[in-house]
Amino acid sequence: MSAPVDRQRPRVGRAFWAVLYRDLYVTSKELPTFLAQVILQPLFLLFVFGRILTDLGYAQEGYAELLFPGLVGLTAVVTGLQSSAFPLVIDFAYTKEIEDRLLAPMPTALVAVEKIVYAALRALVASALMLPIGVLILGSIPWRPGAAPLFILMVILGSLVGSAMGLLMGTSVPANRINIVFSLVFTPLLFTGASQYPWPSLDGMRWFQVITTLNPLTYVSEGMRAALVPEVPHMPPVLCVGMLVFAITVIGWAGMRGFRRRALD
């Protein structure tokens, strides 16, 4: 303890990696819980909507094909959102565990960035797991040569937009309201994101089509369809990417502001 302290500028990059490593380390210690958390929801959605409804004849042949890309997008966004929002709410309201990291020699905003990166990594894993789950439940999943670049880009953007939304929610909602806010945000988010239906098919229901454009998930679902099932009418991928980059920037900025407000008095 008597080692002399170097007075050079603290190495911010190292602090960032250490903080990210802490989250990855904790996740690795509770891997089964993590997997159950991320797999269960898409598993059931895929099974009920993709398998049961089509097998029973309530959904058309081929619905599973169009549902699958939407569910991958949904998984990316929802997992990202849950992975950043819930821990932040608990941290800021009760455990204050994050305080030690807020005192690490790095800008406060970088701690927020770490939260987004970590949540997005979880979302990436969850989305990737959707491929084997899809094969398992549906027998086959829509894939075509050349789908990979846009598919990967959409998974990344979807994970990031979800994580940014989680950061904003986790820092702007007081702990005692989180239940209400989650149910008020979550259900609409699930069903207005064009995951279960292609966006252009809403032409006949203009008001709902307009509402869905407010949900970032819509652009993820549509971009996924452009990648995996291009024969289904979909939004132009360029528009999807543009809207998502815009959403990530705006929501991420607002979330970072919220984080700073919670972190500093």
Partner 1 sequence: MYRPGAYVVTERAVEVENLVKRYPKSQANAVDGISFSVPVGEIFGLLGPNGAGKTTTVGVLTTRVKPTSGCALVGEVDVTLDPVTARSMLAVVPQRNNLDRALSIRDNLLFHAAYHGVPRPEAKARAAQLLDQFGLADRAASKPEFVSGGQAQRIMIARALMHSPMTLFLDEPSTGLDPAARLFVWERVRALRERGVTIVLTTHDMDEAAELSDRVGIMDHGKLLALDTPKSLTRALPGSQTLDVTVELAGGDLAQAVKAFQMLEGVENVETVDDDTSEGCLRTRLYVSGEASTLLVPVTKVVTDHQMNLTDARIGKPTLEDVFISLTGKALR
Quick one: 1 or 56, whose CB is closer to partner 1? 1
- If binding is defined by CB under 8 A, does position 104 make contact with partner 1? yes
Q: Buried b / exposed e across 103-136, counting CB within 10 Å, b at 16+?
A: ebebebebbbbbbbbbbbbbbbbbbebbeebbee
**Interacting residue with partner 1 among 26, 40, 180, 184 (CB under 8 A):** 26
| Residue from 79, 104, 45, 38 nearest 217 by CA | 79
- If binding is defined by CB under 8 A, does position 174 make contact with partner 1? no
238 to 196, 203, 220: CA distances (angstroms): 21, 20, 12
Stretch that binds partner 1, among 17-25, 37-45, 125-133, 152-160 (CB under 8 A): 17-25
- Closest approach of partner 1 to the CB of residue 260, in Å: 10
Residue with tokens 């997005």: 120
Cα-based angle 121, 127, 131 (whole degrees, multiple of 5):
140
Q: What is the DSSP letter of 231?
A: T
How many residues sit in the footprint of partner 1 (CB under 8 A)? 35
- If binding is defined by CB under 8 A, does position 31 make contact with partner 1? no
Quick one: 26 or 35, whose CB is closer to partner 1? 26
- Site of interaction with partner 1 (CB under 8 A): 1-5, 7, 9-12, 14-15, 18-19, 21-22, 25-26, 29, 95-97, 99-108, 263-265
